[in-house]
């Protein structure tokens, strides 16, 4: 069951993990993008940390605040994508103070749809959608979430980017993991730990 405190804990855990993998995210984005993903995500989740001490009366209220914060603090393509995902997740959670596995899964599907709509992207284009969509569609309660997420991240290595800045690299984008897929797996892993 995901509680408001659990959601906060997942966001704190995400911030810690983003910070420890900041250089990796930067290196991946330098290889097939503009090298700002580590810095952007770090800045974004630093800002998220600062809103976690406030009280929220629902999962929706917290998720909406996170979304607005990420939209305003994370630059590049990722900010609006993550931001819109959290805002749509907020709508799915609504006034609920806790969410069971089924509601979390539904919320993640909503978040996925928002990322796809905003990024005009589909699975298979070597983006964060390649983690969000298959995970949200296929995850079952009690699965080994981390191993599923890691597998999805690894699968992006072989893909050729056809969306976003990485698509300018064409064939040369093959052989590098998508940085947005990696940051997405960090976030989803932290979240699922709290869902249980
Ligand atoms: Mg970038």
CB atoms within 10 A of CB 134: 17
- Helix or strand or coil: residue 2? strand
CA of 24 to the centre of ligand 1 (A): 13
pLDDT band at 74 (very low <50, low <70, confident <90, very high): confident
Helix (H) or strand (E) holding 98: strand 98-99
pLDDT band at 20 (very low <50, low <70, confident <90, very high): very high
Give the residue-averaged pLDDT of 141-147.
97
The angle at the Cα of 96, spanning 95 to 97, to the nearest 5 degrees, equals: 115
pLDDT band at 76 (very low <50, low <70, confident <90, very high): confident
CA of 134 to the centre of ligand 1 (A): 23
Contact 64, 83 (CB under 8 A): no
CA of 58 to the centre of ligand 1 (A): 33
pLDDT band at 163 (very low <50, low <70, confident <90, very high): confident
Contact 28, 177 (CB under 8 A): yes
CA of 56 to the centre of ligand 1 (A): 32
- Helix or strand or coil: residue 3? strand
pLDDT band at 77 (very low <50, low <70, confident <90, very high): confident
pTM above 0.95, yes or no: yes
Contact 54, 7 (CB under 8 A): no
Helix (H) or strand (E) holding 114: helix 101-119
Buried b (16+ CB within 10 A) or exposed e, 168-186: ebeeebeebbbbbbbbbbb
| pLDDT for 107 | 98
Contact 14, 70 (CB under 8 A): no
CA of 107 to the centre of ligand 1 (A): 26
The pocket of ion ligand 1, defined by CB under 5 A, consists of: 29, 33-34, 36-37, 76
Q: Give the separation between CA 121 and CA 52, rounded to whole angstroms.
A: 31
- Helix or strand or coil: residue 188? helix
Mean pLDDT taken over the chain: 96
Residue 161: pLDDT over 90: yes
CA of 36 to the centre of ligand 1 (A): 5
- CATH architecture under which domain 2-195 falls: Alpha Horseshoe (1.25)
**Segment 78-133, tens digit of pLDDT:** 999 999 999 999 999 999 999 999 999 999 999 999 999 999 999 999 999 999 99
CA dihedral 113, 40, 126, 104 (to 10 degrees): -30
């Amino acid at each position: 069951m995901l509680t408001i405190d659990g959601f906060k804990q997942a966001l704190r855990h995400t911030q810690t993990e983003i910070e420890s993998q900041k250089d990796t995210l930067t290196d991946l984005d330098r290889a097939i993008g503009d090298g700002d993903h580590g810095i952007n995500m770090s800045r974004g989740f630093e800002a998220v940390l600062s809103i976690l001490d406030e009280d929220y009366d629902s999962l929706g209220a917290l998720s909406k605040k996170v979304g607005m914060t990420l939209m305003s603090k994370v630059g590049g393509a990722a900010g609006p994508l993550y931001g819109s995902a959290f805002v749509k997740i907020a709508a799915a959670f609504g006034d609920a103070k806790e969410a069971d596995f089924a509601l979390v899964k539904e919320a993640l599907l909503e978040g996925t749809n928002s990322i796809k709509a905003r990024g005009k992207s589909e699975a298979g284009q070597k983006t964060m959608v390649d983690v969000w969509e298959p995970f949200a569609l296929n995850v079952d309660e009690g699965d080994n979430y981390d191993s599923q997420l890691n597998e999805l991240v690894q699968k992006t290595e072989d893909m050729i980017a056809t969306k976003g800045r990485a698509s300018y690299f064409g064939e040369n984008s093959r052989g590098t993991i998508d940085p947005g897929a990696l940051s997405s797996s960090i976030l989803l892993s932290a979240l699922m730990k709290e869902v249980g």
